[in-house]
Amino acid sequence: MDATLVIIGVNFRTSPIAVRERFWIPPDEQVDALHSLIRSEGIEEVVVLATCARTEFILWASDPTEGANSVLRFLTRKFDLKLSDWSNFYRLVDNSALLHLFRVVAGLDSFTVGEPEATSRVQAAWHTAQRADTSNRFLDAVIQKSLDMASLVKAETALAMSAVSISAACVELATDTFGALDERSILLIGAGNGAESAARYLHRAGARKFAFLDPVPQNAERLATAFNGRTLGPAQLASELATADLVIAAASSPTFVLDYADLAAAMKSRQSLPVVVVDLALPRNIDPEVRSLTGVFFYNLDDLEQVLQGNSAQQHDAAVYAEKILNAAVPGFYTRLLAEQDLPTIVALRRRLEEICGQELRSLEDQFGPFTEDQQHALHSLASHITQRIAGGMARKLKELPEQADQEQLTEAVQRLFHLETARRVTPVRSN
């Protein structure tokens, strides 16, 4: 079976935020996840993309079914995945997976069509995988092509120019509720990119009264300086909630930073004076039960998606043209990608390594077995990983050699070293 592109994931189209946050992988855990997955059966290369809109596993899989099963086992171990949860996930293979990735990178599969941050998030995920040595020849080519297509879409359409961001949606909510923002008090919890972006859009819309709260005081001070605002300590949160008109939470926290009791106490002090509360975080920062409080107008990422969809009409023509560009690029690129993997020497090397590993595993079991199912799985995963690393490294080396004579010399050396008999090259043909 030829290796192929597989994407397994869950996103804002397939599941609500309560499901997405369960399977979100924080940045400081992504390298461990990559290392765990790359040692799994059926997976040759892997990139993990985890954002507020999606968690996706982008695989170059030697066996799509086994690769999917490896992701399933990983999710079960890490997140206690239940069989009923699997219905929230999608699995895309071959051309469908490639087109999906093109659309994600170009911002066509985002909360807001044309979202510019989509490209940078995929780049960051790719660089993490490269540092972990889990994205190599094939996924490097796939993601680089996706970035090139995103640049082409940006150059040839007005998609990015007409995009409306999550931060812009916050402004729309605030102005719809309060009108002018110059006299409105705004509390931002968190001082990362999300909070900074929201503050920037609100400032452009006329907001001038900002207060910032972050576990790291220096981060809050940085934004307070940039937007001529105030910094708060944790002890000042309750009093600020009693007077703020707009509260935006965008903190990196595994638990709620505002719960029902916090807002309930604040509303008593406010005598039910209305407040707009927006949760931009995943995992969520604010207990969704605050929605039931009188005077609280609460919005999370799923609610903001509905706001953004109301602005999508102006982007329709640009999105249709962008879709045509991406669809046209998929078949030719994917055919070339598949043809590149069909180097007869590498195919023969992989088979020879699998044969050697199989012999050694049988010998090991004869000496020390029988093994448990988990032990057998671990041993076979290790053997598969070794095979993938050696064959993949050899394929990259052959591709990097500029002279055909050097390629032929290395090929002959590998054939002699591993006693390989290579068949005539046959380029695979895949339907769309």
User: Between vectors from CA 352 to CA 402 and to CA 57, what angle results, nearest 5°?
Assistant: 75
Q: Contact 405/328 with Cβ under 8 angstroms?
A: no
Residue 46, φ and ψ in degrees, nearest 5: -155, 140
CA dist 44 → 33, 169, 352 (Å) = 14, 40, 17
| CA–CA separation, 164 and 151 (whole Å) | 18
Residue 335's nearest CA partner among 137, 160, 94 is 94
Q: What torsion, rounded to 10 degrees, do the Cα atoms 314, 319, 322, 323 define?
A: -160
Q: Give me 348's structure tokens.
A: 């023969």
d(C-alpha 216, C-alpha 392), whole Å: 43
Distance of alpha carbon 410 from alpha carbon 401, whole angstroms: 9
Terminal C-alpha separation, the chain: 17
Please say whether the beta carbons of 48 and 10 come within 8 A. Answer: no
CA distance 24 to 50: 6
Q: Give the helix/strand (H/E) hosting 256.
A: none
Q: Which residues are catalytic?
A: 52
E strand map for 28-89: 43-50, 54-61
Instruction: Give dist(CA 207, CA 178) in Å, integer.
Output: 11
Q: Are 86 and 69 in contact (CB under 8 A)?
A: no
Contact 78, 55 (CB under 8 A): no
Distance CA 391, CA 420 (A): 13
Residue 263 CA to residue 181 CA, distance in Å, equals: 22
d(CA 46, CA 34): 7
Report which residue type is found at 16. P
Reduced to 3 states, what is the DSSP secondary structure of residue 292? helix
For the residues of 283-348, what is the DSSP string, one character each?
A: S-SB-GGGGGSTTEEEE-HHHHHHHHHTT-GGGHHHHHHHHHHHHHHHHHHHHHHHHHH--HHHHH
DSSP-based three-state secondary structure for 129: helix
